[in-house]
Structure 1
Amino acid sequence: MKPFELIDISGDAGIRAFGNDLKELFLNAAAGMYSLITNSESVTPRKSIEIETSSDSLEGLLVSWLNELIFHFDAYGFIGKEIHIHELRDTLLRATVTGEDFVPERHGGGLLIKAATYHRLKIERKEGHWEADVIFDI
């Protein structure tokens, strides 16, 4: 099973992430989002950040998780490469993200993502795996 695929959305960007379990789904959603920003092969794991986020629903938790990653990119120029999720429950996620400072000359010019949105957001269990559709405001 592939980790994610791009969804063609007029005026925005979207991904469909896949996972055998919720942890893998959340990891692959982050990888898919980062792929819209840069080629992950260009990112070197040099420093780590800790992320903790919560929400009152699983869908809200996915949006909150991705928006935390976007915040660290926008505010600090941090782009992730390796992610370790320490804890994932229906309403809480704790993770360590390892990556580096974004350098446009080295990392290229992908999309500038403003936010993960609730538009057409869905998380589904299908035939032994999980799928999530996420649309990003660009």
Structure 2
Amino acid sequence: MWNEFKKFALRGNVLDLAIGVIIGAAFGKIVSSLVDDIIMPLVGVLIGGGIDFSSLAIPVGKAEVKYGAFIQTIVDFLIIAFSIFIFVRIINRRFKKKEEEVQPSPKVDKKEELLTEIRDLLKEK
């Protein structure tokens, strides 16, 4: 059982996932700081003269519905999602170019070439 666990835990996909989670958490903190400390104060100034969204709440009996924190969390999510989208898009374009450079054009067999010519001639008629 120990050997199976070692194989599972040290498999490449699991390690990649663990690294991704750690980096994602750190990236999330950076984006949260960007949203909390830079973007939301600017949005508050533009919308209502310096409103702090995180403090917005509606009292309901003895409880408070903190809709401002919810708005801030949504903005945080949208910025994180957009940042990841841009990052993945850049990475995909980079790897796509490398794959196109590496892959040689497929060699066509003489028989296939003749069959293609026959097909094209039949289509013309």
Larger radius of gyration: 2
The TM tier, using the shorter chain, reads: under 0.3
What TM-score do the two structures reach when normalised by structure 1? Answer: 0.21
If each structure's helix is expressed as a fraction of its own residues, which one has the higher value? 2
Bigger RCO of structures 1 and 2 (CA < 8 A, at least 6 apart): 1
What TM-score do the two structures reach when normalised by structure 2? Answer: 0.23
